[in-house]
């Protein structure tokens, strides 16, 4: 998508009508948000994958509103042209509609342009209430990692006609309730294609094939910083090797006294070192006099 102006919900909807693919990637901090924005992505997802790729947590279930507010604010400080989507963490929108709207409001106040919730049919009340509050909301269907315990792990979903139908209904009802886009995660490709054909709002896919209006990837997977990435995550660069190599070079140079070299340290003003020596000598003498 060309142009310099801030990307809004209108742009995202128009992209589908024009047949232009949408590009989304995660970011969790200011410098990364700046870089992915300079690369020209349409949307930055401050994902709750934060917990797994940045905070070292076992799953996304441990991620809190406080985590999401802090990292959404960090991304917003990059002032990206891309739309910032803040993931609603586990238990921030399930217990009640009013709590969901309040928590979504916190993410917008932190700088998000929209929020994302995991679910479809079961969350139409939440989607409608957010719309009523003027909060753009993205839905997320297929594999929903916050429900991995119920789903039985992080597996491909929609492989049977019954399961496929359920996912298609999720997407349709979320769109009907007012979601402006739908993330379709790790479904059989036919399911994502069917959803993409049936709904007016764009589908943003991850691990669900090419017949979608856009794609999303976790930045650490794309950069090669995830030790065991999901099978659908393409690694565009091996940053892990690059980082390890750079730090090994630094360690070598410190141990061999090559770093810091002459051009990387600085001295006092002319004559000041000699004056310092005299000051130190005088202090030494005074100490002796006081003792004796």
Ligand X SMILES: Nc1nc(=O)c2c([nH]1)NC[C@@H]1CN(c3ccc(C(=O)N[C@@H](CCC(=O)O)C(=O)O)cc3)CN21
Question: Closest Cα partner for 218 from 75, 58, 44?
Answer: 44
Is 14 among the annotated ligand-binding positions?
no
Question: What tokens appear for 44 in the block?
Answer: 């930055």
Check binding of 53 to ligand X (CB under 6 A). yes
Closest residue to ligand KIV using C-beta atoms: 47
Please say whether the beta carbons of 124 and 173 come within 8 A: yes
Q: In 3-state terms, what secondary structure has residue 119? A: strand
Q: Which of 42, 87, 194, 221 binds ligand KIV (CB under 6 A)?
A: 87
Cα separation, 121 vs 260, in Å, equals 60
Please say whether the beta carbons of 141 and 186 come within 8 A: no
Contact window for ligand KIV (CB under 6 A) among 2-10, 47-55, 166-174, 277-285? 47-55
Is 49 among the annotated ligand-binding positions?
yes
**Residue 48 φ/ψ, nearest 5 degrees:** -75, -5
Is 38 among the annotated ligand-binding positions?
no
Please say whether the beta carbons of 83 and 111 come within 8 A: no
Question: What tokens appear for 118 in the block?
Answer: 């995991």
Please say whether the beta carbons of 159 and 188 come within 8 A: yes
Question: What tokens appear for 242 in the block?
Answer: 């690059």
Contact window for ligand KIV (CB under 6 A) among 9-17, 45-53, 73-81, 188-196? 45-53
Mark 14-53 with x for binding to Mg ion (rule: CB under 5 A) and - for no binding.
Answer: ---------------------------------xx-----
**Shortest Å, Cβ 187 to ligand KIV:** 12
Does 194 participate in catalysis according to the annotation?
Answer: no
Kind plus residue range of the DSSP H or E element containing 172? helix 161-177
Check binding of 216 to ligand KIV (CB under 6 A). yes
Question: What tokens appear for 156 in the block?
Answer: 């491909």
Using CB under 5 A as the binding criterion, the count of chain residues that bind Mg ion stands at 3
Is 116 among the annotated ligand-binding positions?
yes
Contact window for ligand KIV (CB under 6 A) among 46-54, 122-130, 246-254, 265-273? 46-54
Contact window for ligand X (CB under 6 A) among 7-15, 30-38, 75-83, 221-229? 221-229
48/67 with CB nearer ligand KIV: 48
Strands in the chain per DSSP E: 22-26, 43-46, 83-87, 114-118, 137-142, 181-185, 203-206, 214-217
Q: Which residues are annotated as a binding site?
A: 48-49, 87, 116, 118
Point out which residues bind ligand X (CB under 6 A): 49, 52-53, 60, 145, 153-156, 186, 218, 220-221, 226, 229-231, 233
Q: Which residues are annotated as a binding site for Mg(2+)?
A: 48, 87, 118
Point out which residues bind ligand KIV (CB under 6 A): 26, 45, 47-49, 87, 183, 185, 206, 216, 218
């Amino acid at each position: 998508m060309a142009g310099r102006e801030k990307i809004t919900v209108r742009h995202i909807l128009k992209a589908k009508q024009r047949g232009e693919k949408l590009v989304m990637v995660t970011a969790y901090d200011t410098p990364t948000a700046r870089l992915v924005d300079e690369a020209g992505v349409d949307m930055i997802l401050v994902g709750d994958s934060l917990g797994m790729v940045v905070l070292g947590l076992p799953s996304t279930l441990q991620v809190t509103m406080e985590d999401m507010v802090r990292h959404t604010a960090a991304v917003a400080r990059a002032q990206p042209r891309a739309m910032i989507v803040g993931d609603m963490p586990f238990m921030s929108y399930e217990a009640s509609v009013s709590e969901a709207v309040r928590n979504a409001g916190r993410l917008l106040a932190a700088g998000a342009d929209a929020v994302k919730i995991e679910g479809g049919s079961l969350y139409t009340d939440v989607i409608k209430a957010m719309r009523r509050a003027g909060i753009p909301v993205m839905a997320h269907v297929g594999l929903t990692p916050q429900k991995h315990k119920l789903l039985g792990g992080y597996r491909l979903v929609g492989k049977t006609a019954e399961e496929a139908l359920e996912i298609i209904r999720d997407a349709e009802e979320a769109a009907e309730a007012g979601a402006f886009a739908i993330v379709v995660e790790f479904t059989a490709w036919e399911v994502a294609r069917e959803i993409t054909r049936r709904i007016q709002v764009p589908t943003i896919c991850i691990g669900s094939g090419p017949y979608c209006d856009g794609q999303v990837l976790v930045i650490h997977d794309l950069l090669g910083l995830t030790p065991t990435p999901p099978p659908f995550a393409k690694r565009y660069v091996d940053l892990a090797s690059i980082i390890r190599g750079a730090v090994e070079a630094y360690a070598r140079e410190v141990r061999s006294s090559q770093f810091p070299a002459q051009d990387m340290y600085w001295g006092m003003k002319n004559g000041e070192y000699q004056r310092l020596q005299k000051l130190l000598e005088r202090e030494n003498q005074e100490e002796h006099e006081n003792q004796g």
